[in-house]
């Protein structure tokens, strides 16, 4: 009952906790996230969440049994700074993650204080609204080396056979300077077309992802690549297995193309 892995485009800010036009812009994404649990081979024992919104000098693992909240956004309604996603942590899984990363020779650290950031709780809320699946969050590593994050995914792969669902939360297009003025449409289309070609076939996928900067409109789609690196982790944890597009939208926020991907 091996769990698949996912790279999820997580949308903008605290959208699941809002109403109106901004929430409506996420309707297709929301539907895909709501449908995800039913597509799994079994209910996960826990979730390991790699969010674009956490970078550290070493791969850092959340160890708290009761994680708090981190409202890492600005300019949204006051109530969105009071929302709570009360999923429990899983200290035993956190230690298992530490051990796997250490065994792979990668730098690792623990953090008992960090709470869930919006890359985590805004994807999890539509998926598991009762917050009844334990969640451990794991950081990216500063430097944002694609090869290193693919290696991280390979190190974490055994968790899939232990009932753990590995989720990489980022965004297939993330250039805030182009998102809201219409100039992001063309580069989002071009980069997404590359992703649709690069992700499905496992043969040579790691090399394609390592060389992502050579893709059409790569640096227009990702002026900084932290929102793309969770894809590397999800792909690395499913090396040798096919990928497929799990969510695809061509009219996000008025014209952007966005996608999520499943592996295995």
Neighbours of 171 (CB within 10 A): 27
Q: Which domain holds residue 165?
A: 5-172+229-251
Element (H, E) at 247: strand 243-252
Residue 194 within any structural domain of the chain: no
- What's residue 73's pLDDT? 95
Specify the pairing of strand 5-9 against strand 256-263. antiparallel
CATH number of the domain to which 127 belongs: 3.40.830.10
pLDDT of residue 41: 98
Residue 17 pLDDT class (50, 70, 90 cuts):
very high
Structural domains in the chain (count):
1
pLDDT band at 176 (very low <50, low <70, confident <90, very high): confident
Model pLDDT, residue 237: 98
Query: Do residues 209 and 150 touch, judged by C-beta distance below 8 A?
Result: yes
Mean pLDDT of the chain: 97
pLDDT at 180 over 90: no
Domain for residue 30, yes or no? Answer: yes
Burial of 126 (0-12, 13-18, 19+ CB in 10 A): buried
pLDDT recorded at residue 1 = 86
178 domain residue, yes or no: no
47 found inside a domain:
yes
Per DSSP, the residues of 25-87 read: TTHHHHHHHHHTGGGSSS--SEEEEEEEEEEESSEEEE--SS--B-----SS-GGGGS-----
Q: Which pLDDT does position 238 carry in this prediction?
A: 98
Whole-prediction pTM: 0.97
pLDDT score of 117 = 98
227-256 average pLDDT score: 96
Distance separating alpha carbons of residues 229 and 148, to the nearest angstrom? 10
Per-residue pLDDT tens over the stretch 44-87: 999 999 999 999 999 999 999 999 999 999 999 999 999 999 99
pLDDT digits (tens, 9 = 90+) for 200-224: 999 999 999 999 999 999 999 999 9
Cα–Cα distance list, 10 to 5, 104, 207, 234 (Å): 15, 28, 25, 14
Contacts of residue 203, Cβ cutoff 8 Å, sequence gap at least 6: none
pLDDT at res. 118:
97
Per-residue pLDDT at 182: 82
Closest CA to 11 of 30, 38, 39: 30
Q: Is residue 257 part of a domain?
A: no
d(CA 175, CA 159): 32
Specify the pLDDT at position 113: 98
Is 261 inside a domain boundary?
Answer: no
The reply to whether 97 falls in a domain is yes
Q: Is residue 104 part of a domain?
A: yes
């Amino acid at each position: 009952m091996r769990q698949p892995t996912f790279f999820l485009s997580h949308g903008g800010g605290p959208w699941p906790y809002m109403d109106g036009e901004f929430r409506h812009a996420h309707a297709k994404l929301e539907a895909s996230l709501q449908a995800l649990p039913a597509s799994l081979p079994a209910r996960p024992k826990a979730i390991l969440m790699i969010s674009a919104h956490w970078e550290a000098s070493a791969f850092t693992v959340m160890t708290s049994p009761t994680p708090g909240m981190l409202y890492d956004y600005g300019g949204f309604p006051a109530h969105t700074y009071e929302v709570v996603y009360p999923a429990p942590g899983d200290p035993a899984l956190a230690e298992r993650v530490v051990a796997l990363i250490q065994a792979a020779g990668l730098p690792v650290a623990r953090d008992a204080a960090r709470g869930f950031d919006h890359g985590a709780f805004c994807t999890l809320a539509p998926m598991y609204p009762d917050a009844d699946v334990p969640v451990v969050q794991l950081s990216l590593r500063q430097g944002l080396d694609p090869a290193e994050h693919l290696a991280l995914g390979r190190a974490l792969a055994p968790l899939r056979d232990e009932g753990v669902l590995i989720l990489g939360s980022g965004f297939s297009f993330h250039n805030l300077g182009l998102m809201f003025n219409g100039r992001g449409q063309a580069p989002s289309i071009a980069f997404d077309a590359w992703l649709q070609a690069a992700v499905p076939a496992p043969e040579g996928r790691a090399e394609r992802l390592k060389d992502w900067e050579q893709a059409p409109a790569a640096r227009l789609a990702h002026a900084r690549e932290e929102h793309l690196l969770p894809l590397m982790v999800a792909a690395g944890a499913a090396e040798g297995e096919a990928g497929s597009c799990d969510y695809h939208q061509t009219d996000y926020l008025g014209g952007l193309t966005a996608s999520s991907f499943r592996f295995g």
